Amino acid sequence: MRAYLPSYNLLTPQNLPDALDLLARDPGVYKPFAGGTDLMVLLEAGKLSHKNYINIWNLKELRGIEAVDYHVTIGALTTYTEIQAHPVLRAEFPMLCQAASETGGLAIQNRGTLGGNIANASPAADSPPALLVYDAELELVSATSSRWVAYHGFHTGYKQMNIQPQELLTRIRLPRSTKNLKQYYRKVGTRKAQAISKVCFAATASTDGERLADIRIALGSVAPIPIRCVSTEAALRGQQIDQLGELGKAALVREIVPIDDIRSTANYRIRVGLNLLGDFLSRLRSSS
């Protein structure tokens, strides 16, 4: 059943201050509408429950990618296509570029935005695991204030986030600390293209001789939110590289909490998550 268009209200502000004023005027009444790749699907299916939106697609303040000495800042309206094309992101943040290349088809990549992928708050989204292991930060701006928050901890529950109704996600910041890191990203779905992930896995690691100096692991589709697996990381950090396999799997199986749904089963997701971790650790051993 399709939605009835006249029952929806879409306002188009001229600039960012106007958009923030609209959000502040009636907190919670209006929600941002960016690329619309998720919202239009719900609208067509008659399942878009919220009725009032602010069109932020043309806000130039939310676009662009800036690389400086210590970090890269990505505007929230940056598309997946623009992410894939940026030379610094390709060289230093290949997992984010891979996630962008595996999100939908070309039409989705040309229209979908990184900020929208975050704010849609789906546990199956493709970019969050990469952003979590890259220690991303988010800029949240309102008409009266702005703040940077760690992306790890931003999602507080299913479709729940650490953002106020009057705030807008404007930029994503990535520290340029990936030099010498081994990086690994895998999305497992029903098919190779245009599929929602059954399991999404991202990890980075650095070694010190025969020991694991540091490791970061994040997964999607295995919990109500994209999760950074800090307990598994702690269990592995500092251990001998050739002894990581069983230790890591034992820790990870205690940390992820997948469910059965229309796309897959909890048991399958656990098995795939453990296999992906095993593959990553095996590659660490072979490259050390």
Q: What is the pTM of this model?
A: 0.95
126 burial (CB, 10 Å; 0-12 / 13-18 / 19+) is: buried
Indicate if 100 and 137 belong to the same structural domain.
yes
Q: Does 230 share its domain with 207?
A: yes
Q: Is the pLDDT of residue 165 over 80?
A: yes
Amino acid making up residue 110: N
Digit-coded pLDDT (tens) for 259-273 = 888 889 999 999 999
Pair 125, 211: CB distance under 8 Å: no
The answer to whether residues 19 and 111 belong to one domain is no
Same domain, 23 and 124: no
Residues 40 and 108 placed together within one structural domain of the fold: no
Summarised one tens digit per residue, pLDDT across range 110-122 is 999 999 999 999 9
Q: Domain count of the chain? A: 3
What's the domain range around 79?
Answer: 60-174
Angle at 211 between CA 205 and CA 216, to 5 degrees: 25
* Whether residue 92 is found in the same domain as residue 190: no
Q: Are 102 and 149 within one domain? A: yes
* Among candidate residues 174, 201, 233, the one where a domain is terminated: 174
CATH code assigned at 279: 3.30.390.50
CATH number at residue 42: 3.30.43
Same domain assignment for residues 86 and 168: yes
Tell me the HSE value of 210 on the side-chain side, using a 13 A CA sphere.
3
* Average pLDDT for the chain: 94
Q: Are residues 217 and 249 in the same domain?
A: yes
Which domain-ending residue is among 15, 33, 55? Answer: 55
Among candidate residues 174, 203, 218, the one where a domain is terminated: 174
Question: Is there a single domain that holds both residue 67 and residue 149?
Answer: yes
Cβ distance 134 to 93 under 8 Å?
Answer: yes
Same domain, 32 and 105: no
The predicted structure's pLDDT at residue 1: 61
pLDDT tens-place string over residues 45-100: 888 889 999 999 999 999 999 999 999 999 999 999 999 999 999 999 999 999 99
236 — phi, psi (to 5°)? -95, -30
Span 25-53, mean pLDDT?
A: 90
Cβ density class 192-201: b for 16+ within 10 Å, e for less? eeeebbbbbb
Tell me, yes or no, whether 35 and 75 share the same domain. no
CATH number at residue 92: 3.30.465.10
**Average pLDDT for 189-208:** 87
